[in-house]
Amino acid sequence: MYKYDPIDQQIVNERVAQYRDQTRRYLAGELTDEEYRPLRLQNGLYIQRHAPMLRIAVPYGLISSKQMRKLGDIAKKYDRGYGHFSTRQNLQLNWPKLEDTPDILAELATVEMHAIQTSGNCIRNITTDQFAGIAPDEIIDPRAIAEIMRQWSTFHPEFALLPRKFKIAVSGTEKDRAIVQAHDIGLEFFKDAQEQMAIKVWVGGGLGRTPILGTVIREHLEWQHVLSYCEAVIRVYNIHGRRDNAYKARIKILVKALGIEEFKRQVEEEWAHLKDGPLTITQNELDRVAKYFEPMPYKTLPAHDASFDAAVASNPAFAAWVKRCVQPHRVPGYRAVTLSLKPHGKAPGDITSEQMHVVADLADAYSFGELRSSHEQNLILADVQVSDLFAVWEKARAAGLATPNIGLLTDIICCPGGDFCSLANAKSIPIAEAIQMQFDNLDYLYEIGDLELNISGCMNACGHHHVGHIGILGVDKDGSEWYQVTVGGKQGNDASIGSVIGPSFSAEEMPGVVQRLIEVYVRERQDEERFIDTVRRLGVAPFKAHVYAEKETA
Amino acid sequence: MSQLIQLAADGQASIVADAWTRVVPPAAGEESVRKQAGKVVLFKLTGEQTYTAEQIANTEIPATGKILVPLTIWQARKAELQSRLAAGELGIILATNETAEALQAEFPDLNTLPLIAVFVERFADGRIFTLGNWLRTRFGFKNELRAIGDVLRDQLFFHKRAGFNSFLIRADRSAEDALASLNDFSQPYQGGVADVPVWRRVNRA
């Protein structure tokens, strides 16, 4: 993974000093709440219901064992001994003290970490596929460009105060796992006819209050121009994006208002001035950064391991875990392991300090000392030898990190919701926990098969509910918490936004509602059809009919 | 004490006396406060009117000395301001909802102006950075480029890198304190108006 040189280190050190002084001035009354707000936000600090929340950047989801231990120690020293992995692959602390945040940042800086631009109206953490570099279907490893873009976007002097937040995702695989279509800019890397690295550029996607999938603004962009092109896009947005209404300020609204053709015309006009200028990435710089993402020193291994095969054959619990939590790897004899942060009945994405140390130890022992976080809020050991899988499983299971539910109904994506977040209309974690307990039967979960259930506590959609096969959105009706249900959302190349099935439900009704949606699926599915396939084939009507029929007779 | 910070050609910052008098139109007769979803609208959109005809007509312009005049005032009353321009006593204020193109339509060679100021009504309005960048790189403006309005020390580093070389700190804040923020970072990653990306600036290998 990328390692800081003295320039990177100086920037985070100077940031700590800058932020320490800003916080000092705020606490001394020299800065108003309104003036301090964008400053703290651009350092990941929210003022929440109970305490501030600090969001720590995990650039494109890559984290070392050393960093993970430091996060565990910070969570113990400054918080309540746990953290929460978010859908932007970052780590959130729910209970730090505002006065402590400069010290936390100083500790993070010692392990090449920061909280820069994890919130606020600026370019946010760039996200990607958690299997980048090892996925069998990967065409281009996008991480070097992602790192170059991270540096470019860090304290960008022109884009420090955009109309609204700006999210970029990169992906270099056949099967999109980074939801590039749901981002302000989505960069899809591919090899063009000349075998050169090229990028398909999507713009104007986003979830939130007005969910819109992105549109292709450029089919083919040479990688050298990715910074100048993004700069042109964001410049047009910075000038013309709405600032009078925060709900209409995302770039997607501007793209819709102008139409993609006119928006593209303005971008191309701007780009003509920037193209081939100093922003053009040199081969030298790409090579410098790319060397940090070279393949690990893999051993030459046989594709099969007899002891592993025997363990799968004789141990059903291990076999179930292998089926759900072990993913393919491009190198023979290696696999990726997803450590589930979704044990039934616990807040999705939460991890204790002790668990952080366990996963760091696992990474050191079995996976070259590195981990990844996924936007599905799990952790990944990307490079595990097949012969080590049983040992990894035993240790992960002992630490509560081996629930064999990856990709199943209980692998719920969920925002912190009304328990923590001051923006939320409704709680989300208790809903996730109740659904997990309703389906706390692995055989039944396997019978249901692949299903993505996403929950957001408000229309800001941190829980990506619009692209869940089943999406749940917390809404406020006359001061009480209700939940609106969508079906048919999907992430990936054929992404779609879910359709609302009807009037919303109370919290108590939710496990039953999900149960009834599943009943329709089990009744109607054909052959190997997944839940999403059945919804796409039949539409919303039969689901709606069953859910509300039950409701009326109840 | 002056509120004006100026960068010398060598980048050295100092607090200097302000030789320019800002021409401010009188308040509008009836300020219409727009609301959306119960929230007061805080930002003018691009192209939105800055001053009413009545405000422009009633604006008092000092008869002597260097004057800093809003673009809309110039557009409406340029006949009486021509001599000031010729004497090098005229600077123009561009609001963040106005465009650099509109300014250039009035002054095909922007360098006939000794001073352009960009007025930012609220510090969170990041259009000022793009405007600064454009004026320097696209429109080739070489003279004094000043940030005025809700100008606070925590944005100064960005203002500087976006091409501004003078900063009128908001009246209730110390310009002296603000000087420190101009040097928050010693080696920024990306290029600015006056420099190239770090990987073109230094050898990082």
Residue B185 contacts A, CB cutoff 8 Å: yes
Asked if A379 and A351 touch (Cβ cutoff 8 Å), the reply is yes
C-alpha A497 chain-centroid distance: 17
Cα dist from A264 to A218, A233, A234, B88, B162, whole Å: 8, 8, 12, 40, 24
Say whether pLDDT at A433 is over 60.
Answer: yes
Asked if the Cβ–Cβ distance from A244 to B42 is below 8 Å, we say yes
Residue type, A162: L
Task: Name the closest residue on chain B to residue A11, using Cα atoms.
Answer: B185
A 259-288 residues with CB < 8 A to B:
273, 278-279, 282, 284-285, 288
Asked if the Cβ–Cβ distance from B44 to A7 is below 8 Å, we say no
Structure tokens at A206: 């986003």
* Strands of the A370-373 sheet, one edge to the other: A62-64, A370-373, A379-385, A334-339, A326-327
Q: For residue range A355-400, what is the model confidence (pLDDT) as tens digits?
A: 999 999 999 999 999 999 999 999 999 999 999 999 999 999 999 9
CA-atom Rg of chain B in angstroms? 18
Q: Tell me the pLDDT of chain A averaged across its residues.
A: 95
| Interface with chain B: mutation pick from A244, A281, A287, highest number of B CBs within 10 Å | A244
Mean pLDDT for A197-202 is: 97
Q: Looking at CA atoms only, how far is residue A330 from chain B in angstroms?
A: 30
pLDDT of residue A331: 97
Q: For residue range A313-349, what is the model confidence (pLDDT) as tens digits?
A: 999 999 999 999 999 999 999 999 999 999 999 999 9
Query: Reduced to 3 states, what is the DSSP secondary structure of residue A198?
Result: strand
Enumerate residue ranges in chain B where pLDDT < 50. none
Query: Reduced to 3 states, what is the DSSP secondary structure of residue A311?
Result: helix
Residue found by looking up tokens 């619990």 in the block: A317
Q: What is the CATH number of domain A413-553?
A: 3.30.413.10
pLDDT of residue B29: 67
The beta strand positions in A469-545, using DSSP E, are 470-477, 480-487, 499-500
Question: What is the domain partition of chain A in residue ranges?
Answer: 6-109, 135-290, 413-553
Residue A18 contacts B, CB cutoff 8 Å: yes
Number of neighbouring beta carbons within 10 Å of residue A145: 27
pLDDT of residue B140: 96
Residue type, A464: H
Task: Sort out which chain A residues have CB atoms less than 8 A from B138's CB and list them.
Answer: 273
- Assigned CATH class of B53-201: alpha beta
Q: For residue range A214-264, what is the model confidence (pLDDT) as tens digits?
A: 999 999 999 999 999 999 999 999 999 999 988 899 999 999 999 999 999
Structure tokens at A524: 């109607």
Q: Looking at CA atoms only, how far is residue B120 from chain A in angstroms?
A: 12
Q: For residue range A59-101, what is the model confidence (pLDDT) as tens digits?
A: 999 999 999 999 999 999 999 999 999 998 999 999 899 999 9
pLDDT of residue B39: 56
Return the HEC string of A147-189. HHHHHHHCCCCCCCCCCCCECEEEECECCCCCCHHHCCEEEEE
Say whether pLDDT at A551 is over 90.
Answer: no
Q: What is the length of chain B?
A: 205
Say whether pLDDT at A481 is over 90.
Answer: yes
**CATH fold label, A6-109:** Sulfite Reductase Hemoprotein; domain 2 (3.90.480)
Domains A6-109 and A413-553 agree in fold: no
Q: Looking at CA atoms only, how far is residue B97 from chain A in angstroms?
A: 8
Structure tokens at A455: 């929950």
Of A56-70, A86-100, A518-532, A538-552, which gets the smallest average pLDDT? A538-552
The secondary structure of residue B1, as a DSSP letter, is -
Asked if A68 and A379 touch (Cβ cutoff 8 Å), the reply is no
Beta bridge partners of A64: A370
Q: What is the CATH number of domain A135-290?
A: 3.30.413.10
Interface ipTM > 0.90: yes
Q: Looking at CA atoms only, how far is residue A106 from chain B in angstroms?
A: 16
Run of H or E residues at B127: helix B127-137
Residue found by looking up tokens 């039953």 in the block: A512
Task: Sort out which chain B residues have CB atoms less than 8 A from A280's CB and list them.
Answer: none
| Distance, first Cα to last Cα, chain A | 55
Name the burial class of residue B77, with classes exposed (0-12), middle (13-18) and buried (19+) by CB atoms within 10 angstroms of its CB. middle
- Minimal CA–CA distance to B96: which of B39, B157, B50? B50
Question: What is the domain partition of chain B in residue ranges?
Answer: 53-201
- What does the alpha-carbon distance between residue A94 and residue A98 come to, in Å, rounded to a whole number? 11
Residue A244 contacts B, CB cutoff 8 Å: yes
What percent of chain B is helix, strand and coil (3-state, nearest 5)? 30, 20, 50
